[in-house]
Structure 1
Amino acid sequence: MQRYSDRENTSTNRARRHHPLSPPLGLRALAGAGALALLMAACGGDDAGTSEDGTVTLTFANWADTEDATRPGLQETLEQFEEEHPDIKIESEGIGFSDIGQQMVQRVQAGNPPDVAQLAGNDTFAVASTEALAPLGEHLDEETISAVNPADVEGGTYEGELVAFPWIDSPQGFWYNKGLMADAGLDPEQPPETIDELMDALAAIKEEFPGITPLGLDVTNRPFGLGANWAWMKTFGAEPFGESGANANSPEMVEYLSWMSELASNDYIEPGRKIGEFRPQAAQDEVAFIWDQDVFQGVVQDTNGMSDEEFFEAWGVTTLPTGPSGEPYSVNQGHQLVIFNNSENKEAAAELIEYLSTSEDAIVDYTMDTALALPPVTEPEGEVAELMDTPVRQSFIEDINPTFTVPPYGQTFSAGYGPVMAGLQQIVTSGADPADVAEDIQSKLESALD
Structure 2
Amino acid sequence: MKSLKKVVCIFLTSLILFTTAAGCTTKTPGSTTSPSPTASEPANQEPVTIRFMSWGPTEAITTPIYEKIKENFEKENENIKIEWVSVPFGNMKQQAFIYAASEDLPDVVESHISWTPSFVTSDIMRPLNDLFSEDFLNDFLPESLQEGSFNGELRAVPKALTPVVLFYNKELFKEAGLDPEAPPKTYDEMLSMAEKIAKLKTDSGDAIYGLGEPVSKQANTGQLSLRNWYNFEAISFDQDGKITINKDAAVDTLAYYRSLSEKAIAPQSALPKDLRNLFAQGRLGMMFDICSTATINLLSGKGKDFEKEYGLALVPVNKTGESSSVSVTYFLSIANNSKNPEEAAKVIEYFTSKEALEAFVEADNPFQPARVSIMDDPVFNNTDTQKLMRDQYVNYNNPTPPNNEKLEEAYVDIITSVQEALQTNENLDSIAERLMGKLTSIYK
Common fold by TM > 0.5: yes
1:93 aligns with 2:89: no
Q: 1:407 to 1:314 in 2, by over 3 A?
A: farther
Match for 2:287: what amino acid? I
Match for 2:272: what amino acid? I
Report how far residue 142 of structure 1 moved.
Answer: 3.7
1:399 aligns with 2:392: yes
1:56 aligns with 2:24: no
- CA–CA distance in 2 between the matches of 1:95 and 1:306? 28
For the residue of structure 2 that corresponds to 1:352, the secondary structure is: helix
User: Which of 209, 221, 228 is the equivalent residue of 1:225?
Assistant: 221
Q: 1:187 to 1:67 in 2, by over 3 A?
A: closer
Report how far residue 307 of structure 1 moved.
Answer: 5.9
- CA–CA distance in 2 between the matches of 1:410 and 1:447? 12
Count of residue correspondences: 397
User: Which of 423, 427, 432 is the equivalent residue of 1:429?
Assistant: 423
Larger mean Cα displacement after TM superposition, 424-433 or 267-276: 424-433
Mapped contact 1:280–1:299 kept (Cα < 8 A): no
Report how far residue 181 of structure 1 moved.
Answer: 2.6
Mapped contact 1:69–1:370 kept (Cα < 8 A): no
Mapped contact 1:318–1:400 kept (Cα < 8 A): no
User: Which of 77, 93, 104 is the equivalent residue of 2:96?
Assistant: 104
Give the gaps of 5 or more residues in structure 1: 1-49
- CA–CA distance in 1 between the matches of 2:322 and 2:127? 33
Match for 2:227: what amino acid? A
Mapped contact 1:117–1:339 kept (Cα < 8 A): yes
Report how far residue 68 of structure 1 moved.
Answer: 4.0
For the residue of structure 2 that corresponds to 1:324, the secondary structure is: coil
- CA–CA distance in 2 between the matches of 1:113 and 1:78? 20
Q: 1:442 to 1:349 in 2, by over 3 A?
A: same
User: Which of 204, 208, 213 is the equivalent residue of 1:212?
Assistant: 208
1:365 aligns with 2:362: no
Larger mean Cα displacement after TM superposition, 177-186 or 386-395: 177-186
Report how far residue 351 of structure 1 moved.
Answer: 1.5
- CA–CA distance in 1 between the matches of 2:186 and 2:47? 57
Residue in 1 that maps onto 2:254: 257
Q: 1:286 to 1:78 in 2, by over 3 A?
A: same
For the residue of structure 1 that corresponds to 2:179, the secondary structure is: coil
Residue in 1 that maps onto 2:150: 158
Report how far residue 342 of structure 1 moved.
Answer: 3.8
Mapped contact 1:128–1:163 kept (Cα < 8 A): yes
Mapped contact 1:319–1:328 kept (Cα < 8 A): yes
Q: How does 1:58-207 map to 2 (within 5 A)?
A: 58-207=50-199
- CA–CA distance in 2 between the matches of 1:175 and 1:257? 22
User: Which of 296, 320, 328 is the equivalent residue of 1:325?
Assistant: 320
Report how far residue 448 of structure 1 moved.
Answer: 7.9
Q: 1:149 to 1:305 in 2, by over 3 A?
A: farther
Mapped contact 1:219–1:273 kept (Cα < 8 A): yes
- CA–CA distance in 2 between the matches of 1:406 and 1:444? 18
Report how far residue 227 of structure 1 moved.
Answer: 1.4
- CA–CA distance in 2 between the matches of 1:262 and 1:92? 45
User: Which of 231, 241, 244 is the equivalent residue of 1:235?
Assistant: 231
Report how far residue 435 of structure 1 moved.
Answer: 1.1
Residue in 2 that maps onto 1:349: 344
Match for 2:309: what amino acid? A
Q: 1:354 to 1:445 in 2, by over 3 A?
A: closer
- Tell me the alpha carbon deviations over residues 36-55 of structure 1, each in whole angstroms, 9 at most, x when there is no partner: xxxxxxxxxxxxxx996163
Mapped contact 1:61–1:94 kept (Cα < 8 A): yes
Residue in 1 that maps onto 2:26: none
- Tell me the alpha carbon deviations over residues 157-198 of structure 1, each in whole angstroms, 9 at most, x when there is no partner: 322233212223232111122333344343333322222222
User: Which of 260, 272, 275 is the equivalent residue of 2:272?
Assistant: 275
For the residue of structure 2 that corresponds to 1:218, the secondary structure is: coil
For the residue of structure 2 that corresponds to 1:191, the secondary structure is: coil
For the residue of structure 2 that corresponds to 1:349, the secondary structure is: helix
Match for 2:327: what amino acid? N
1:415 aligns with 2:412: no
- TM-score between the two structures when normalised by the length of structure 2: 0.78
1:389 aligns with 2:389: no
Match for 1:389: what amino acid? N
Percent identity of equivalent pairs: 25
Mapped contact 1:265–1:431 kept (Cα < 8 A): no
Mapped contact 2:368–2:380 kept (Cα < 8 A): no
Q: 1:197 to 1:381 in 2, by over 3 A?
A: closer
Q: 1:65 to 1:373 in 2, by over 3 A?
A: same
- CA–CA distance in 2 between the matches of 1:328 and 1:51? 61
Report how far residue 413 of structure 1 moved.
Answer: 2.1
1:337 aligns with 2:332: yes
Match for 2:105: what amino acid? P
- TM-score between the two structures when normalised by the length of structure 1: 0.77
- CA–CA distance in 1 between the matches of 2:113 and 2:398? 13
- CA–CA distance in 2 between the matches of 1:261 and 1:280? 23
Match for 2:179: what amino acid? D
Give the gaps of 5 or more residues in structure 2: 1-41
Match for 1:271: what amino acid? Q
Q: 1:313 to 1:149 in 2, by over 3 A?
A: farther
Mapped contact 1:227–1:407 kept (Cα < 8 A): no
Q: 1:312 to 1:99 in 2, by over 3 A?
A: closer
Q: Which has the higher contact order (CA 8 A, sep 6+)?
A: 1
Mapped contact 1:216–1:287 kept (Cα < 8 A): yes
